[in-house]
A and B are shown apart, each in its own frame.
Chain A
Amino acid sequence: MDCPLTENIKPGEGPPDIEAYEKGGGYGALRKALQNMAPGDVVQAVLDSHLRGRGGAGFPTGHKWTFVPQGEQAVHPTYLVINADEMEPGTFKDRVLLEGNPHQLIEGIILGAYAIQADIAYIFLRQEYATAAQRCSRAIAEAYARGYLGRNIVGASFSLELYLHSSAGRYICGEETAMLNALEGRRATPRAKPPFPPVVGLWGKPTIVNNVETMANVSHIIEHGADWFRQLSRSVDGGTKIYGVSGRVKKPGTWELPMGATIREVLEEHAGGMRDGFKLRALIPGGASTEFMPADQLDVKMDFDSMQAAGSRLGTGTMIILDDRTCPVGMVLNLMRFFARESCGWCTPCREGLPWLVRILEAIENGGGELKDMEILRRHTGLLWLGHTFCALAPGAMEPLQSALKFFEDDFLRHIREKRCPWR
């Protein structure tokens, strides 16, 4: 079983219902954990598995769980929130898991909740994922009917309520503290940290926020063990990863591969390489807020540490391809428009800085740029960097910008010199 996350997902077919899921061994890990393992054993198994968060930041999942106060310090209710707000441009991997096998996610959620002794869990789902909403609602109802959710799950003393929260469209809700404000029915601006959510989260109670893909791994770790999980990977990070490719390639899509597959493997073997008539210029490896990588870096392994060493980030692992017939300045302008639009407006550098960058990039793209604009763009990559802003949205926006200024400087200068976009 090399592809635990997707082996029961059949493209074009609906997800397995609870009977089909159980027939394939589903909810076996849950019985095993609730009947034979202490919560701390589940945490330890996930720690040993080297599972790192798949939302983009790559924080070790088991380690995050240890921050929740336990024993005499335990606070109830404790919450588990599943981040299914997949809105990072270029990212479409959680959709596959939400639509393809919701019971796998739900079993992972119950196990995670047991590990941290949570009482209530929410799936925070973006509104546009309408098919996922239907399928998750149905799966949750089925799990309640079978006694996997609610009071005394599978006859054990552990109880959990799981609710689906359908949001209403705003990128910043994916930031974990903004997500907590959203769930509390407040304007979803991020919160100051510390205190951190595992100690002071939803309504001030301990709260863990985990990504969909992260949680989909948990039942497999409990069923087959941490050693097995680590061996799935070709890197120090355990498990597989759902990689994706979009842009002008022959077969855009997602594939579950060992963590640490190379960019070349994903792009050439699975996405079929570039479409005829297009050459690879560069790529953004893991969603809009990761640094461009030039075409000579295809042999970099797509795991958290290797990508960082190569000057970018794994992010969400779904890459966006820049081809030779697409304007890099136009692409960066599109990205900055997104970030400017989705800035929550709470802190000044982000609210004012991003629209300024959009105006400058528009001027350059439309032939009205000046040489001094390059310096203004460069300065902003520092002014909007970590430490100057309230959350990571603007620094995330600076990652593609600063790498574009490095790799495509000649293209920017040509726009300014020729007073037009050479691609139009």
Chain B
Amino acid sequence: MLTPEELAEIETEQTHYEQKRAACVEALKVVQRSRGWVSDESLSDLADFMGMTTDELDSVATFYNLIFRKPVGRHIILVCTSVSCWVMGHEQVLDHLRKRLGIGLGETTADGRFTLLPNVCLGACDLAPALMIDDDLHGNLDTQKIDEMLARYE
């Protein structure tokens, strides 16, 4: 069941478009913001509300890198793996994160604190190597900086 708050937010987004279904990306993001990810049940509820079939909506949901159709941790780490960060050593950043968190790309820590994902260029090439945790951008990374940074996300 979608909550009244979620429905209100989605209805506002729908007024921005000629057709209501156009707001489906926003709708998926509304649900993801409040629940962390988009479950089959949420997808089905959303599809009903948007006037789409679940398959239609899932074809949109699964198209995007940042719509999660599996449970994720409380914080999402997006490590830039594109060319400038590769030149500047994102492999070392990833190795350190794997070691510190005990997980690989696409995995979530056992305590549900972090999910580690690769991301295409974050547009922070002047700060390479860079990553994002939730909405925060962190650049010019080294191992010490990464450790300090992780400590700030509970």
Contact = CB atoms under 8 A, between A and B. Distances in A.
Given A90-B84, A334-B86, A186 B60 contact: yes
A35 B122 CA distance: 41
Contacts, number: 143
Interface in A154-190: 161, 163, 165-171, 182-188
Contact of A322 (B24, B87, B136): B87
Q: Which secondary structure dominates where chain A touches chain B?
A: mixed
Interface stretch (A102-110, A335-343, A352-360, A362-370): A335-343
Chain B CB within 10 Å, residue with most, of A94, A127, A171: A127
Nearest to B66: A169
Nearest to B59: A187
Interface string A83-96: 00011111110110
A203 interface: yes
By Cβ-Cβ distance, the 5 closest A-B pairs, closest first, are A246-B125, A168-B64, A130-B135, A89-B82, A169-B66
Interface in B45-75: 50, 52, 59-60, 63-67
14 contacts: A89-B120, A90-B82, A90-B84, A183-B17, A185-B50, A187-B59, A203-B19, A246-B84, A246-B87, A288-B82, A320-B125, A331-B86, A334-B81, A338-B121
A326 B122 CA distance: 21
B110 to A, nearest CB: 26
A135 to B, nearest CB: 13
B39 interface: no
Interface residues of A, number: 60
Contact of B120 (A185, A188, A202, A342): A342
Interface string A17-53: 0000000000000000000000000000000000000
Contacts of A182: 25
A184 B19 contact: yes
Interface stretch (A230-238, A247-255, A376-384, A390-398): A247-255
A299 interface: no
Contact of A169 (B23, B119, B137): B119
Contacts of B50: 185
Contacts of A127: 29, 66
Contacts of A89: 82-84, 120-121
Given A128-B78, A167-B25, A320-B83, A87 B128 contact: no
Contact of B65 (A166, A170, A331, A334): A170
A165 B14 CA distance: 11
Contacts of B148: none
